[in-house]
Amino acid sequence: MPIQTADAATTRVHLRTVTFAHPHAVELNDRVQREYAERYGDDGDVTFLEPSMFEPPRGLYLMAYDEHGTPLATGGWRAMDENGEGYADGDAELKRMYVTPEARGLGLARRILAELETDARAAGRVRMVLETGTKQPEAIALYTSSGYTPAPAKFGHYRFHDESLCYTKAL
C-alpha cells in the first residue's frame, strides 16, 4: 500500500513500506554497497543489519517506485538505545539512504527522510542519528539542510574511523 503519491518532475513516484529482505531492498542495498566501495576503496558498509531491525514499531524500511514499479530509492530507520557504540536511549538510526543515479535530483531522499522522521517520532523515538562519510558530499548536504548537526560524539560501527561523520536531529 503506498504511503504517499506525488509527481516528481515528469515521473510519478510513490513510497511503499517493504521489508529489508524484500528483493528490491536487497537490489538497492547491493547498489549502494558498490558505490561505497568505489568511493572508499573497501568492501562497503559492514554494519550488522538484519531485516527484523526495520520492523514496526522499532523501525521502518521504505522504497520509492516509479509508475512502472522500478525501485528508485530506499531508506530506513531502526531503534537504538544506549549501548557500547555510543547510542542513547530513544535514538532512531537512519540506514541505507540511497537514490539510484537515474533518479537523483527528484527530491526522493528528502521525501524518504521526512517520512522516516515522522514515523520514528510516532514510534516514540526522540532523536534521529546517522553516520555518513567524508566522501559523500550529497548526503552531508541533504542532512545539514534538513536540520541535522554534527554529533558531540561519534557512534556506531565506524565511530573510530577518520572518514566517519555522525549527525543528529531532535525529533
Whether 5 shows a pLDDT value over 60: the answer reads no
pLDDT attached to residue 6? 43
Strands 127-133 and 164-170: antiparallel
Supply the DSSP symbol for 136. Answer: -
At 11, the pLDDT band (50, 70, 90 cuts) reads low
Domains of the chain are 2-126 (3.40.630.30)
User: Is-above-0.85 flag for pTM?
Assistant: yes
Can you tell me the distance from the alpha carbon of 6 to that of 25, in angstroms, rounded to the nearest whole number? Answer: 21
CA 15 to centroid of chain Cα atoms: 14
Whether 68 shows a pLDDT value over 90: the answer reads yes
Q: How many CA atoms lie within 13 Å of 124's alpha carbon, on the beta-carbon side?
A: 8
CA 105 to centroid of chain Cα atoms: 17
Give the pLDDT confidence of 83-134 residue by residue, as tens digits: 999 999 999 999 999 999 999 999 999 999 999 999 999 999 999 999 999 9
